[in-house]
Amino acid sequence: MCTLAHSLENAGIATVVISLIRMHSDIIRPPRALFVPFELGRPLGDPRDTDGQKAVLRAALGLLENPGPGPVFGAFEGRDRTTPTTVQPLPRADLDFQAEISDILSLYHRAFVSKGRTTFGNSGLTPKDCCAQFTELARQNGKFTGRYSGKHLRFLIDDLKTIYFEAACYQQPPLASASLHNWFWQGTRAGAVLTEMRADFLKSDNKSLKLVANFIVPGEWVDTLNL
């Protein structure tokens, strides 16, 4: 990111970087950077915090009015305001995977209708077909037929997580990432199926499955769950 800023500025276009990793900015020394205290993945701060997002933008873009010389660095003092909360459990606590995924799909559709936006779609499937394909994979119980390419599996799994997270956010206040990830990886059957699938893929002789295994469980949760 900071390297791209050097290139654009050399082309005569003024830049300002929102910086999540100060260590990198201190080394690369882009023309202007605003250090923000937010977690990776949330460079503008909390979702639906319109005022907070604008405050970040004002602080960042305001650096463009500093006459220099560069680098001109600033620090944004705001902080995450979303409070970790417990995501509401599913209506039934004794769901098997098939029942859980069915309930989640129903919630996901309600969320989509309510919001008019979904981030589902990289698999090229419908949400229903995504769930069906994933359920079929789970039933193979470690003996994968190789019907799907590694790339398809990667995006199938991404889209499945999207269905779960969008369902969990339905009619909720803005949720902290920790709340959603705790719920998904420790409180859902899908999380358990994915951790088992990762282990199976890692043991597989299929190089493509071994590669996909690295894109199933985030590193933080590989450590947390002692996988």
171 to 210, contacts with other proteins by CB under 8 A? 174-175, 177, 180-181
Q: Is 146 in the site for other proteins (CB under 8 A)?
A: no
75: contact with other proteins by CB under 8 A: no
Q: Does 153 contact other proteins by CB under 8 A? A: no
| Selected range binding other proteins among 18-26, 90-98, 101-109, 127-135, rule: CB under 8 A | 18-26
6 binds other proteins (CB under 8 A): yes
**Other Cβ atoms closer than 10 A to 49:** 18
Comparing CB distances to other proteins, the nearer of 21 and 99 is 21
Q: Closest separation between CB of residue 193 and other proteins, Å?
A: 16
Closer residue to other proteins, CB minimum distance, 145 or 171:
171
Task: Measure the CA–CA gap between 46 and 29, rounded to whole angstroms.
Answer: 27
Among 144, 162, 166, residue whose Cα is nearest residue 213: 144
Establish if 127 lies at the interface with other proteins (CB under 8 A).
no
| Interface size with other proteins, residues (CB under 8 A) | 85
Task: Tell me if residue 136 falls in helix, strand or coil.
Answer: helix
* Residue 185 Cβ vs other proteins, minimum distance, rounded to whole Å: 12
Q: Which stretch binds other proteins (CB under 8 A): 17-25, 133-141, 186-194, 201-209?
A: 17-25
Residue 59 found at the interface with other proteins (CB under 8 A): no
Q: What contacts 24+ positions apart, CB below 8 Å, involve 93-99?
A: 95/189, 96/189, 97/135, 97/138, 97/189, 97/190, 97/193, 98/135
Under 8 Å CB-to-CB from 167, ≥6 apart: which residues?
104, 105, 107, 108, 111
Query: Do you find a cis peptide bond into 71, omega within 30 degrees of 0?
Result: yes
